Each structure stands twice: as C-alpha cells, then as structure tokens.
Structure 1
Amino acid sequence: MTLVLLDKTDGVATITLNRPEAMNALSKDLRRELCAACQDVRDDRSIHALIVTGAGERAFTAGLDLKELGESGLGPANDRDAATNPVFALSEMPIPVIGAINGVAITGGFELALACDIRIASTNARFADTHARVGITPGWGLSQKLSRFIGLSRACELSFTGQFLDAKTACEWGLVNHVYDPDQLMPAALALAQDMTTIDRDFLKVYKDLIMTGFERNLADGMAYENQISLPYNADVSMEDVESRRLAIIERGRKLKG
C-alpha cells in the first residue's frame, strides 16, 4: 500500500497521508515516503504551492505510531534531517505549504500541522497536544511554535491538559484561517493554492524566506533582515515590470468584481 499519495495538477502539488485505517499515524515508512514526496516537490520548478492533507475525514494524522514507537523507540524521529523528519522536510519547502486539516491532528500530527505555512480546517478538525500525557517532550517545534501562534496562556492550557481544541475555536484563536464543511475543504485548499500559482515562483521563494526568517527573530532584527534583502532585490526590478504587473492587478480586480 502506498502510504503517501502525491498529485501534481496545474502548478499545485497535493500530498495525502494515506493510512486512514490507522488514523494516518506517522510510521517510519510513512515518514520516509512523506519526506521523499517533499523532496520531489522541492525539485519540481513547475509547482508553485503544496497542499498537505490526510486520507478520509477522521484524521489529518494522529501523530507518531505509538505502537511502533513502543516496540522500537524514537529512532531517527527527532533528527533534523529533511530526508527523515517530515516537519523539517516541510519547513525547508521554498514554496507556500497549505495544511488542509481534515480531521484530528494529535501531538506529532499537531506538530506537522504547525509546520504548514497556512492552515485551513474542516469542521471535523480537532487539535491536541498529548506530549505530557505520553511522557515525551516535543522534538518538532511545538513547544516553541504554539505559544507564538495562539499566545502563551492558551498554549500552556492545551499542552498541560492534552485537551482537544475544536476547529471553530482554533479559527477564533488564529491557529487556522478558515473552517469549511468536510466536502468543501479540498476545493477551498485548491482554490487558495491556484491563486498562488499566479505569482512568480522565484518571488514567492524570496517573500516566504523574508516572512519565515523574520518570524524567528525579534522585530528589530527582522526589520534589519528585510532591509538587507529588499535593497538589492528591488534595485534590480525594472519600472516596466512594475507597470505591467500593476495593470495585471487592475485587470484581476475587475475579474474578481465581475
């Protein structure tokens, strides 16, 4: 059975975790296939955006396969190699990554969702951090990212209880951008990704780096980094290109209005 499905259509890649009978749990084999799929997408310059989702409607992913974990230990799960660690494979993606959270995202699955640049969810989506209950500390960034995304107090509540966070509240807290009925989640994700394909891929890479690098720094250092990148980049932009793109923006606005 193929544990990870990869589809490429019209500039958009979709990676689907395909172990629905096991809540799309992240076994070693699935993690390896997921990292390989990410490498495939990274190497394909025709792809402008990536969607990550889970098969079925029950689970995005329930996280690491605890049965396998109990038998063989963590192994390479906590390494920082994009060839074996799916969170780092997604983090190194030069194009936008949209997490279409179709069901539960638990512990390692929560961490995988946090590795996506943009998260949208179905009404079936629920998030939970059960690291404390399992007795394993996060190794994929959740302990640092979650408080930055939803605030320190809310992150502490989730992590110190293991309680579920429903999709509606996740949206109110800013963890996900939008919530859809289950049958509308993938059409919405594809529409969002397709919109991104109309932006130059190389520019998306530069802009994503600006945002993500700045997010990891304090404001002053982030502003300095933006200045460092933008001065030489903008100096190479011709006024003719700016004008043609300005006209394209006006035309796009007219079409959206109509």
Structure 2
Amino acid sequence: MSAVRVDADKGGGVAVVTLDRPHRLNAIDLDMARELTEVWRALRFDDSVRAVVLTGSGERAFCTGIDRDVVVPQPSSPYTQDDPLLTVGPKANDLWKPVIAAVRGMACGGAFYLLGECEFVVADPTAVFFDPHTTYGMVSAYESMLMAARMPYGEVARMALMGTAERISARRAHEIGLVSEVTEDGGALAGAVRCASVIAGYPTEGVQGTVRALWAAREAAPAQAFAQAAPLIALGSLPVERQAELFRNRDRTEPRIR
C-alpha cells in the first residue's frame, strides 16, 4: 500500500501530494522516503502539473518526522551521516515547481525537512509546530538549519531547545512568519489549493524561475551549515538505545502551547 498519494487536477494544473500514514501520524519510514523521492522526480516531467500542494492525511498530524521504528545503520566516522530524510523534499530532487504546504495538526522534527523546502505554509488553527530532538538526547541539526531560514533566530532556538515542553500554535507561527495564512478550522488544504490554482494559471517559465531565484537567495547559508551537520549529530547525540529509553519513559504531561 502506497504511503504517498498524488491527486492531480490536470485541467487546473495542481497536484496534491498527501502523506498517507495517518495511523503513524504520517511519520516517514524508509518506504515513504523512497516514494517521496519518486513523486518529486516524476512531477519534474509532468508538464500538466504547474503547482503542488503537500499535506498530511487525517486530522492529527501533517507529519511527525522519521518513524521511531526506522533503524538506519551509521558509519563509525563522525564526519558522515546517513539520513534518509535528506532526499524527501522537492528541492533535494530538483523540482522547481512551487510547492505549498497545508498543515493540520502536528508538524514536528523531521517534518521540517519538508516544510523547509516548500515555498510557503498555510495552516488551520489546529496546527502546532515543535522539535522534540533535545528531549530525547538528539541534536537538532538539519531541522534547525532549515527553520533558521524561515523564522527569527530566537524563535528557532526556543523551539529546538525547549523540545517537547512547548508547541508553537498556528497563531504564533503566523506572527513569526513560519505560516503565511491561518484558515478556518479544516480549511488549510482548500486554502493552499486556492493559492496553487492561482499560481498554476501564470506562465510556467516565470513561476519556476522565481522559485529558483528565491531558493538561490537562501541556499548558500544552509549549504554551509549542512556541511557541519553530520559531525554535530554524531558527536552530540546519545546512543540510539538511550534515545529509545528516553522516548519510552517520556513525560506525558501536556505541553505548553504558545
């Protein structure tokens, strides 16, 4: 069963890509990671699709990052890191068609690999954003680096360092620029599709050139930062077994939403 669903309106030029593992809060396992790579690369060649909306299935989550059951063997060198999420985003797969994220429910951790490569984010009032890495003894590297291009430094730092104790509400995410629009309840997908439909109606070359120009303006800093990510993760993260222990024994107290 496919973990990623693609629904394309050939006439309107908009494709909706849906992360479809609601029973796992749309967490990304290795199959979903591979499917996302295949989807983005296939959309490069589909000229009937001129804009894309990315969303998650169900009401509880957009995406909760990498599936906790995924085991990725790592090399012994601290200077290399095998991260299956590095190739799940549209830009990583050379797709320069605009991608708009529609967020309902939780978006956390590895979800930022996807949000960081979307042009903008539309959310409904249930959306919350947080980064659990530090709580479980992990370094938030790629996630924080990508979000540093979307949010003020202090907001990224607070989100990354506060871990699971706090969540950023849709309202606050809009105030700090992470979210471009907060819709009515349940309206994020429709809002994102509305924007995508407008963009899909414009001349393709100008739209894709603008997306590429925008990305060029911001990719230099992430590229330099990414070069340091692997050793930071390898040297700063607890052993996987200890991370799992912290996750099993995690505090079940409701997080503060700000």
TM-score, scaled relative to structure 1: 0.75
Aligned match of 1:147: 148
- C-alpha separation in 2, matches of 1:11 and 1:88: 17
Show the counterpart of 2:34. Answer: 32
User: Within 2, Cα distance between the matches of 1:7 and 1:68?
Assistant: 27
Seq. identity, %: 27
Equivalent residue of 1:6, what SS?
Answer: strand
Contact 2:103 2:189 survives alignment (8 Å): no
- Of 54, 58, 61, which aligns to 1:59? 61
Alignment partner, residue 125 of structure 1: 127
Which structure ranks higher in relative contact order (CA pairs < 8 Å, sequence separation ≥ 6)? 2
Residue 73 of structure 1: how far off its partner (Å): 4.2
Preserved CA contact (<8 Å) 2:37 2:93: no
Task: Find the partner of 1:196 among 189, 196, 199.
Answer: 199
Unaligned runs of 5+ in 1: 219-258
Question: Structure 2 CA distance, aligned partners of 1:64 and 1:157?
Answer: 21
SS at match of 1:148: coil
Give the aligned partner of residue 77 of structure 1. 83
**Structure 1 match to 2:8:** 8
Q: 1:173 aligns with which of 173, 176, 179?
A: 176
Q: Please tell me whether Structure 1 or Structure 2 has the larger radius of gyration of its CA atoms.
A: 1
Report deviation, 1:137: 3.0
Q: Report if the CA contact (8 A) 2:112-2:147 is conserved.
A: no
Runs of 4+ in 1 over 4 A off after TM superposition: 72-76, 88-91
Pairwise CA RMSD: 2.1
2:49 is paired with a residue of what secondary structure?
A: coil
Structure 2 residue 44 is matched with structure 1 residue 42? yes
- Name the count of aligned residue pairs: 211
Q: Find the aligned partners of 1:3 and 1:181 in 2 and give their Cα distance.
A: 27
Unmatched 5+ stretches in structure 2: 75-80, 222-258
Task: Please give the secondary structure, in 2, of the residue aligned with 1:66.
Answer: coil
d(CA) in 2 for partners of 1:137, 1:159: 9
The one of 195, 208, 212 aligned to 2:215: 212
